[in-house]
Amino acid sequence: MSEATVLQERVRADRHATSYPLIVIGAVGFHYVSAPFSAPVSVVYGIPLAFVVVWGLQWRNERRTGVGSGNDEALLVAFGVFMLASLFASTTWLTLMPMRFEDNVAFWSLVPAAAGLAAIGQRQRNRALVASAGVIVVGCALGEVFGDGSWATDWWYVPYRDLINQLAFLAVTVGGVIIYRRERAISES
């Protein structure tokens, strides 16, 4: 590896530039998929607030360690995600959509999380964040494709839409935890 690549990896590890967004967005997305009606805050506000939490974690880390100036892009992404989520939740959007896409509420409410991860990943040239955004989009799309089916027994029932979306956000969260452990090992070495 070149010296510049090693330095870039070290700075990303010190900032937790990859793990914080994956863990927070993955966990919040998993929550909204698992308990959509018991959530105290609407997904239109919850997903953008998750990006504010990511910004806060990185800001705290920057103040504590002195590494990571320039984390304001997470606030801008939070604003963009809020605008996108608001657009997708609006009646204007629903009237513009063909009828067959109008019922895909889970897809349209969760895709802004993927858009936010992709925006941060693109800005940082971080393939893990962009790939995780792809996992969320593919998971939400597959959830909509298989949305009418369910995995059921005599005593429980799980719609495929929920199960596939949960697995997508769980994969992002677990990936974030694995990357966090790797970042900690790099920053402590």
Tens digits of pLDDT across the chain (189 residues): 677 777 667 766 666 778 888 999 999 989 888 876 666 777 778 888 888 888 888 777 777 766 555 556 777 788 888 888 878 777 666 666 655 555 566 677 788 889 988 988 888 888 999 999 999 999 988 888 887 777 777 777 778 888 888 999 999 999 999 999 988 888 777
What is the pLDDT at residue 159?
A: 81
What is the pLDDT at residue 36?
A: 64
Q: What amino acid is encoded at 135 in this protein?
A: V
Number of independent structural domains in the chain: 1
Which residues lie below 8 Å from residue 8, measured CB to CB, with a gap of 6+? none
Task: Residue 165: give the domain boundaries.
Answer: 3-188
What is the pLDDT at residue 131?
A: 94
What is the pLDDT at residue 177?
A: 94
Give the distance from CA 14 to its chain's centroid: 21
What is the pLDDT at residue 172?
A: 94
What is the pLDDT at residue 161?
A: 82
